[in-house]
Structure 1
Amino acid sequence: MRPTYDISMKARYQYRIYPATNQQIELAKLFGCCRVVWNDALALIKSTPKGEKWPSNAELQEICITQAKKTEGRQWLAEVSNIPLQQSIRDLGVAFKNFFEYRQGKRKGQRRVGFPQFKKKLNQQSARFCRGGFSIKAAKVYLAKIGEIKTKWSRPLPSEPSSVTVIKDCAGRYFISFVVEIQPIAVEPKNQGVGVDLGLETLATLSTGEKVKARDTRVG
């Protein structure tokens, strides 16, 4: 009899949002600040002399956010919430972790992961808030220093979200994407003794390369 694995799943639920004109201005500031913090941190890492240890996430936050706010060239970072700025540094750390795991063959069966790149203003813009930086109030989503944003709820969230990403796509539309826990499923691998690698784009990748698709629910 083949073994099965009950896997706790995470999924993204995405909804269309309609920020007011003043909120669009504040979001543009936020997107720009997150992009600058990411790029500054990446530049600092790439400029580290060969053989020397790269700065840690905590050191990058101190240099690229806390200290940067005290300089004339970056003082406007203080105009936006600190939470998504710190998250940009964390996300960069995750991007490097994924890159090195891919190079080491630890992400078999998944798409190619390249070295983190500098972000450009013309691409899709985003900022991620973790708990403490957002809340859901009636029919609107509150984001720190942005306010309550009109949201088109096409279906209810299945559980309390752990994070939310606000997005502006290349067509100028705004979306909000929640990461939530959903009901576990039983996964039956074709071979016994395989490992299970969980993800959002692919729900689970077994060590054999066998995949179980995730639910990337985009509505609105």
Structure 2
Amino acid sequence: MFNVFKVRIYPNQQQEIALNKNLGCARFVWNYYLNKTNSQYQATGKGMTYCQMAKDLTQLKKNTDYEWLAESTAATLQQALKNLESAFKNFFKKRAKFPKFKSKHKKQSIRYPESCSLKNKGLKLPKLGIVKAKISKKIVGKIKSVTVSKTSTGKYFASILFEADNLIINKNELVSGIDLGLSSKRDSF
């Protein structure tokens, strides 16, 4: 069984810079290949597949104008291409609207599909090391992926997808609630 657990993360200054670079590179790759696929579709009647985009991305990263893409984790860039391909498939199956260009002024996210773990009250992410996190539940199981998001207000969150049989809640966390004393009256039918 798969479960998702969302936590607030607190990157230090260097990690924040690296995360912002990763977010920017993934956004660039999405926008670049959305534009390239649209142009190819208009010219030939066929768009680009994930394999074609991934092969082209490898060549693009070798171009001196785009060397900065190598600073990002390769897996996050490939994931951006997979997400773009899924967006196109969902559009053509009439399950979603046509993919839009991404903006840095709205919520942004990247997915780390591998090499993530929980260590020392933090979340270990590729090329970032251990990022401080507020983890209120113990995750027992294999982490499948981590999606890091940045809100428009500059806060960072991580959604951890893991495979487990059960979810254990730390006993130290306190839960509080408020009884507002509301009642509702319904007319008789």
What's the TM-score bracket when you normalise by the shorter of the two chains?
0.7 to 0.9
CA distance in 2, matches of 1:100, 1:182: 34
Runs of 4+, deviation exceeding 4 Å: none
Following TM superposition, by how much is the alpha carbon of 1:161 offset from its aligned partner in structure 2, in angstroms? 2.1
CA distance in 1, matches of 2:67, 2:3: 36
Greater RCO between the two (CA within 8 Å, min separation 6)? 1
Is 1:60 the equivalent of 2:53? Answer: yes
List per-residue Cα deviations over 1:27-77 (Å, max 9, x = no partner): 1100000000011111111001445322210110121x2111122321100
Q: Report the number of matched residues.
A: 165
Q: What residue in structure 2 maps to residue 150 of structure 1? A: 132
Amino acid in structure 2 at the alignment position of 1:118:
F
Is 1:123 the equivalent of 2:102? Answer: no
Among candidates 125, 147, 164, match of residue 146 of structure 2: 164
Following TM superposition, by how much is the alpha carbon of 1:158 offset from its aligned partner in structure 2, in angstroms? 4.9
Q: What residue in structure 2 maps to residue 180 of structure 1? A: 162
* Contact in 1 for aligned 2:117/2:143 (Cα 8 Å): no
Following TM superposition, by how much is the alpha carbon of 1:181 offset from its aligned partner in structure 2, in angstroms? 3.6
Unpaired stretches in structure 2, ≥5 consecutive residues: 167-189
SS in 2 for 1:73: helix
CA distance in 2, matches of 1:13, 1:29: 24
Higher Cα Rg: structure 1 or 2?
A: 2
TM-score after normalising by structure 1: 0.69
CA distance in 2, matches of 1:14, 1:152: 10
Q: What residue in structure 2 maps to residue 209 of structure 1? A: none
Unpaired stretches in structure 1, ≥5 consecutive residues: 1-7, 108-112, 185-220
Q: What residue in structure 2 maps to residue 70 of structure 1? A: 62
Following TM superposition, by how much is the alpha carbon of 1:156 offset from its aligned partner in structure 2, in angstroms? 1.8
Among candidates 84, 87, 90, match of residue 95 of structure 1: 87
Amino acid in structure 2 at the alignment position of 1:131:
E
List per-residue Cα deviations over 1:149-208 (Å, max 9, x = no partner): 011111122532211011111111111101234559xxxxxxxxxxxxxxxxxxxxxxxx
List per-residue Cα deviations over 1:116-135 (Å, max 9, x = no partner): 11100101121101123x22
Q: Greater helix share, 1 or 2? A: 2
- The verdict on how the C-alpha distance between 1:93 and 1:49 changes in structure 2, with shifts beyond 3 A counting, is closer
Q: What residue in structure 2 maps to residue 36 of structure 1? A: 28
CA distance in 2, matches of 1:13, 1:151: 12
Among candidates 121, 126, 129, match of residue 139 of structure 1: 121
SS in 2 for 1:47: helix
* Contact in 1 for aligned 2:142/2:164 (Cα 8 Å): no
Larger CA deviation: 84-93 vs 49-58: 49-58
Q: CA RMSD in A?
A: 1.8
